[in-house]
Structure 1
Amino acid sequence: MNNKCKNCGSTNFKEGKVGFGYHAYVCENISSTIFKSGVRSKLLTTFCLECGEVQSFKVEEPQLFKK
């Protein structure tokens, strides 16, 4: 991963979770997830502390999706 912001050139990054209280999740792509408790994992982001440019998104526990 590039450790330099492509927007402003800063090297000052922070990782955080998407959402507050209720986090953003990546969920299994199954029909009618309202009635099924499918696999899900929090979505994390790495962003520039100077300009806010998002460098990446990643799934916190990708191994949960392996079958």
Structure 2
Amino acid sequence: MELENSRAKASGGITVNTASEEKRQPSPEEDLVASLRKLKALREQDLISQEEFEKKKAEILDKL
């Protein structure tokens, strides 16, 4: 590992992969909440009908 870090510094700062660099994945619940928010925004902008909104909302809530 020390050799890799030395090489990275010498060659212009290439970053060695570390566990702290991993991105946190959203939980399934967070994904569903985000979907509901997007759906609400679509309805508020009149891009979908109230009927479409209710149907899709029910589908999303069924996944909880």
Q: TM-score, normalised by structure 2?
A: 0.22
Q: TM-score, normalised by structure 1?
A: 0.22
Flag the structure with larger Rg.
2
Which of the two has greater helix per residue? 2
Answer 1 or 2: higher relative contact order, Cα 8 Å, separation at least 6. Answer: 1
Which of the two has greater strand per residue? 1
